[in-house]
Structures are given as structure tokens and as C-alpha cells.
Amino acid sequence: MPIDGYVDYKRREYCNDLECPIQMIMNQKELDSVEYNELRDICKEYCLHTTYEFHHWLIDKGYLLVKPD
């Protein structure tokens, strides 16, 4: 649910910004193809980065975490 005057985080924006090697290969594959989904499984199970790094990337990029009441 977008908030007026703000933009939502785009899927894999972090991965693309960091030029993750797995993401760079995924970008060359057709969405939802067998190869794409195999690479996606690697990301889900063996991500090279931590949630700590992701959280601080969000802060550095000016993102806010918002939770409705």
C-alpha cells in the first residue's frame, strides 16, 4: 500500500544495486524460467549478504519501514 509522496522498494533493488553476481545472471534469464528459478533458489538459501547489511542499505538509501496500526 503506497503512501502519497513516497516510493515502495522495488523487488531485488538491493541485489541489483550491489551487483550481486547471482542477480546479474538472473537478470539475463527469462522471468520464471527453469534457470531463473534455480538461481532464485540459490539466493533464498545462500544469500551472500545479511539482513544487517540490507537494513543499513535501506537506511542509507532513505527508505523507511512502515507498519500500519
CB count in 10 Å sphere of residue 26 = 22
Could you give the CA distance from residue 8 to residue 29 in angstroms, rounded to a whole number?
24
What number is the average pLDDT over the span 1-21? 91
3-state secondary structure of 69: coil
pLDDT in tens, 15-44: 999 999 999 999 999 999 999 999 999 999
Secondary structure (DSSP) of 2-21 = --TT--PPPTTHHHHHTT-H
CA angle 13, 33, 21 (to 5 degrees): 40
Model pLDDT, residue 68 = 83
Model pLDDT, residue 59 = 95
pTM for the whole structure: 0.82
Query: Domain limits of the chain?
Result: 13-60
